C-alpha cells in the first residue's frame, strides 16, 4: 500500500423489499463502527461511508454518494464498482472496506500494515466480503470481467432478526453468479464472484494478492457467539469479529458482557 492516509470505508444502502438485506443499518451503526475502529487503529486514517442515505452519516465520517450500478440485483453486488480505476476520484487513495456488522476487539494495525495491492479475507476455501483492502484501481478485472447476464435469479428463505416483527421466515429474491456457483462457490453475492475471480487470475496477478485468515485474529462466527458467548476469545489474539447473518450485534450489547465491553 502507498503512504497516503488510509481510507476506512463502510457501505449502507436501501434495497427493494424483495431483495431487502437482513439488517437495516442506521447512523447509530456507523457511529459505533467509527468509534471501535478509531480506538484500535493508530495508522493515519479517514472514515468514509458510501451510501444513499446522507442523513445517516455521523460527524467524523465523509459521505460519498452511492452509485446505482448493480443495485437492482440486491445483495452486495453494488460494491463491485469499488474495483474500477476511477474509484480513486471518489474515495481518494488506498482503502479498506469493513462491514458495519463488525465488533473490534483488538488492535487493527497489524492487519493493515501490508504491502500487497489487494488483501482479501479468506475463510476456508472462499473469500469473505466482510473486509478487503486495496490500492484503488489495482485489480479492475474484478469489475470489468463481471457480466450481468451470468446472474441467475433464485428464491431464498431469510430468517428475521431478533428486533423484527412478523413471520419468522421471509421469502426473498436473490441473484447467484452462475459460473461461480458452478465452480462450487455457494455463499454470497459479491464475495462469491470475488472467490471465483481470484481463481481465474493469471499466476502473476495471484501472487500480488495477500490474504487474511483466522490466524490474523479475525473471526466470522459472530452469529454462533450470540448463541454461546463463551466461545469469544478476546485476549487470545482476536482483533475483529464479523456477524454475517440475520442478527445485529447491537441488539445484544445489554445481554452479552463482552459485546457491552467492545461494541460502540
pLDDT for residue 174: 83
Three-state secondary structure of 58-89:
CCCEEEEECCCCCHHHCCCHHHHHHHCCCHHH
pLDDT at residue 258 is higher than 90: no
User: What contacts 261, CB < 8 A, 6 or more positions away?
Assistant: 234
CA gap 1, 63 in Å, rounded: 23
Confidence band for 243, pLDDT divided at 50, 70 and 90: confident
Q: Which three cell numbers mark 225? A: 457467539
Confidence band for 229, pLDDT divided at 50, 70 and 90: low
pLDDT for residue 230: 55
pLDDT for residue 47: 98
Q: What is the pLDDT of residues 43-84, one digit of tens each?
A: 999 999 999 999 999 999 999 999 999 999 988 999 999 999
pTM comes to 0.90
pLDDT for residue 16: 57
Q: Which three cell numbers mark 180? A: 461461480
pLDDT at residue 223 is higher than 70: no
What residue ranges define each of the domains in the chain, with the CATH number in brackets? 6-146+202-262 (3.90.550.10)
pLDDT for residue 98: 98
Q: What is the pLDDT of residues 212-222, one digit of tens each?
A: 999 999 988 77
Q: For all residues of the chain together, what is the average pLDDT? A: 87
> What is the CB-side half-sphere exposure of residue 196 using CA atoms within 13 A?
22
Q: How far is CA 179 from CA 155, 170, 217, in A?
A: 18, 27, 32
CA gap 200, 196 in Å, rounded: 7
Q: What is the pLDDT of residues 158-213, one digit of tens each?
A: 555 555 555 555 566 789 999 999 999 988 899 999 999 999 999 999 999 999 99
Q: Residue 159's closest CA among 20, 13, 16, 11? A: 20
pLDDT for residue 156: 65
Confidence band for 22, pLDDT divided at 50, 70 and 90: low
Mean pLDDT of 236-250: 82
Amino acid at each position: 500500500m502507498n503512504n497516503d492516509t488510509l481510507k476506512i470505508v463502510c457501505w449502507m444502502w436501501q434495497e427493494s423489499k424483495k431483495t431487502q438485506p437482513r439488517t437495516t443499518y442506521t447512523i447509530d451503526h456507523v457511529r459505533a463502527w467509527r468509534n471501535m475502529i478509531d480506538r484500535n487503529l493508530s495508522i493515519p486514517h479517514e472514515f468514509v461511508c458510501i451510501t444513499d442515505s446522507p442523513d445517516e452519516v455521523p460527524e467524523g465520517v465523509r459521505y460519498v454518494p452511492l452509485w446505482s450500478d448493480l443495485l437492482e440485483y440486491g445483495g452486495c453486488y453494488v460494491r463491485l464498482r469499488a474495483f474500477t480505476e476511477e474509484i480513486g476520484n471518489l474515495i481518494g487513495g488506498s482503502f479498506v472496506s469493513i462491514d458495519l456488522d463488525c465488533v473490534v476487539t483488538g488492535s487493527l494495525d497489524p492487519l493493515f500494515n501490508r504491502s500487497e495491492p489487494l488483501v482479501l479475507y479468506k475463510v476456508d476455501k472462499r473469500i469473505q466480503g466482510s473486509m478487503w483492502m486495496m490500492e484503488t484501481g489495482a485489480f479492475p478485472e474484478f469489475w470489468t470481467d463481471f457480466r450481468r447476464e451470468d446472474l441467475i435469479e433464485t428464491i431464498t428463505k431469510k430468517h428475521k432478526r431478533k428486533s423484527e416483527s412478523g413471520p419468522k421466515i421471509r421469502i426473498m429474491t436473490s441473484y447467484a453468479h452462475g459460473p461461480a456457483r458452478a465452480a462450487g462457490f455457494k455463499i454470497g453475492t459479491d464475495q462469491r464472484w470475488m472467490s471465483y475471480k481470484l481463481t481465474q487470475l493469471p499466476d502473476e496477478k495471484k501472487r500480488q494478492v495477500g490474504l487474511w485468515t483466522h490466524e490474523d485474529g479475525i473471526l466470522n462466527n459472530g452469529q454462533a457467539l450470540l448463541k454461546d458467548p463463551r466461545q469469544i476469545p478476546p485476549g487470545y489474539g482476536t482483533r475483529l469479529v464479523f456477524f454475517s447473518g440475520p442478527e445485529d450485534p447491537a441488539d445484544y450489547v445489554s445481554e452479552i458482557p463482552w459485546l457491552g465491553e467492545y461494541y460502540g
